[in-house]
Amino acid sequence: MKYGFIGCGNMGGAIAKALAKSTTDFAITDRSGKAIALAAEIPCGYLSTMEIAQQCDRIFLGVKPHMMKDVLAPLQAVLAERKPLLITMAAGLTTAQIAEFAGCEIPVIRIMPNTPVAIGKGVTQYCCNDLVTREMLGDFLYDMRFSGMLDCLEERLIDAGSAISGSGPAYVYLFIEALADGAVTCGIPRAKALEYAAATVIGAGELVLATGQHPGALKDAVCSPGGSTIAGIRALENHGFRAAAMEAVIATYNRNKELGK
Ligand SMILES: NC(=O)c1ccc[n+]([C@@H]2O[C@H](COP(=O)([O-])OP(=O)(O)OC[C@H]3O[C@@H](n4cnc5c(N)ncnc54)[C@H](OP(=O)(O)O)[C@@H]3O)[C@@H](O)[C@H]2O)c1
């Protein structure tokens, strides 16, 4: 079998959905059996962890970072014999640590995805160890082509990339919810407020990418002198919005570093 997923929860499940748009030659597994329903929905196979190690040529590792060592320990002999490509998404764990947990020299691609990959709008940074061939990487990127943006990043920067795009959807959800709360306070019905807020975030983000303009310039363009938008910007600045966003990224980065220790 081409791909396997050991751990298929929020992040692994989102990647499995993106991968299914290019191949269904894969199987997933988890601990509790919750992923059996996901396998039927995708559809793809459901195997045991050992069966995935024995049968799959490329294995996504979708378990939490602190579980990785214990999950790979019983698979060491079969991994050493077969040398499948391992694709880790674990925050904070390096390609060298994954190979160490696997107990052998083995090709490892480290990815840092985010959950919008499930709808083809994700951001995924990746790096590889020396055993990943050009063909392996090319084939992997091709199979992941329906996941959204895929960008090569030096391994030393992956924790920082993770702090903006891996965890970023959570910050953006908070922002959307807060915008909607403000609008509800001003009388807009909740459902409409959420829809307006989410669509505005998408539109503004797409405008940044499409025009290549600095966000500060785009902001200036919608703030007329003495107008209402600049009054809103002033309120955000007064409440430390810019500093709060910076601190969120830095706090996540520092926590990623701790997870790898
Ligand atoms: N969530 C994100 O936005 C995000 C973004 C970037 C990277 N990541 C990384 O993605 C990884 C998974 O995070 P997540 O948020 O998807 O966590 P999650 O939803 O808790 O999923 C973890 C998965 O691992 C399975 N699992 C746990 N122990 C296992 C075992 N012994 N054998 C087989 N499967 C096992 C779980 O199965 P059960 O449900 O049955 O316990 C579940 O399917 C983490 O390393 C995280 O750093 C996450």
CA atoms within 13 A on the CB side of 127: 15
Residue 144 main-chain phi, psi, to 5 deg? -95, 10
Look at ligand 1, atom 46, and give the residue with the nearest C-alpha: 90
pLDDT at residue 120 in the model: 97
pLDDT at residue 261 in the model: 76
Q: Which atom of ligand 1 is nearest to the CA of 8?
A: 43
Give the chain's length: 261
Across residues 60-87, what is the average pLDDT? 98
Q: What is the pLDDT of residues 196-232, one digit of tens each?
A: 999 999 999 999 999 999 999 999 999 999 999 999 9
**Ligand 1 pocket by Cβ (under 6 Å):** 6-12, 29-32, 34-35, 49, 62-65, 67, 71, 89-91, 112-115, 166
pTM assigned to the model:
0.94
DSSP state of 119: G
CA distance 25 to 45: 8
Look at ligand 1, atom 20, and give the residue with the nearest C-alpha: 9
Across residues 13-22, what is the average pLDDT? 97
pLDDT at residue 252 in the model: 95
Q: What is the mean pLDDT of the chain?
A: 97
Determine how many CB atoms are found less than 10 A away from the CB of residue 185.
9
Q: What is the pLDDT of residues 90-135, one digit of tens each?
A: 999 999 999 999 999 999 999 999 999 999 999 999 999 999 999 9
Q: Which atom of ligand 1 is nearest to the CA of 162?
A: 6
pLDDT at residue 30 in the model: 97
Percent of the chain at pLDDT > 90 equals 97
Q: What is the pLDDT of residues 46-71, one digit of tens each?
A: 999 999 999 999 999 999 999 999 99
For residue 260, pLDDT beyond 90: no
CA distance 108 to 131: 7
Across residues 142-146, what is the average pLDDT? 98
